[in-house]
Structure 1
């Protein structure tokens, strides 16, 4: 069964405040009081942060269970996943606090420009300069559009 995740679409520029909080796109905000997890990751060779709901985390755990080749590998992969996660929340004003070490990892400084970008079962927080350097506002080139969907 394929889970029905929160549907993320698009990429949005935002600015962090002096405490490294960023507004979350209103449609992407979890239910009040529902925790989310930040996870350091790499996309297109750039260090980013992935934001996972509890549902997206559980989906990853289920995938580990389905694809691990042994109980030992399953345990190691689950341990690696939970070690990488940091539970955070979105406050009443819709702001997510990015912990200092994770902000530094992703090259996000207080009062800086970031991009919130849709992912498959998560959304991502990027340093805006890095995001625009890679993606800009250009459409996907025809030779990369093998399925004719862009």
Structure 2
């Protein structure tokens, strides 16, 4: 499986359409025929998945125990607003108004690639998020990733 790479600055037009940057479009060869899915992120941003990746996520969700209230709530909130996106002839996608309002997205947008998904942020919110970097990134890296080196020792 390949992962998306890059960070792209974009603009929404007056109708809420966004041009997919050429560098990102090259990483999405199946998007024209299979489509994309956009959804709410865990923070105030949106997330774009390929249809294939979204189907994997939904498959995982369908395996959860829906007799448990927390599971039903999670599924409900996670899938709320999920919408298929199609590229038009000009390579643009129309972002749903309800989702852009949820994320506070204006006309300036950042697409931030994160493994199997593309985060869609309002430019100002993204800059604030990145400005709040941890005081000591090396310590955070050790805390989050440090155990990877010890896996073989277990």
TM-score, scaled to structure 2: 0.72
**Bigger Cα Rg:** 2
Cα distance between partner residues in 1 of 2:122 and 2:112: 11
Higher helix share: 2
* Residues 1:131 and 2:126 are matched in the alignment: yes
> In the alignment, which residue of structure 2 is the partner of 1:27?
26
The correspondence of residues 1-150 of structure 1 with structure 2, limited to 5 A, is 4=1, 6-24=2-20, 25-29=24-28, 30-43=30-43, 47-66=44-63, 68=64, 70=65, 72-73=67-68, 76=72, 80=76, 81-109=78-106, 112-136=107-131, 141-146=137-142, 147=145
List gaps (5 residues or longer) in structure 2: 147-154
Aligned alpha-carbon RMSD (Å): 2.8
CA distance in 2, matches of 1:65, 1:36: 20
TM-aligned CA distance change 1:49 to 1:101, over 3 Å: same
Give the alignment's TM-score, normalised by structure 1. Answer: 0.74
Q: How many aligned positions are there?
A: 136
How far apart, CA to CA, are the structure 2 residues paired with 1:31 and 1:85?
16
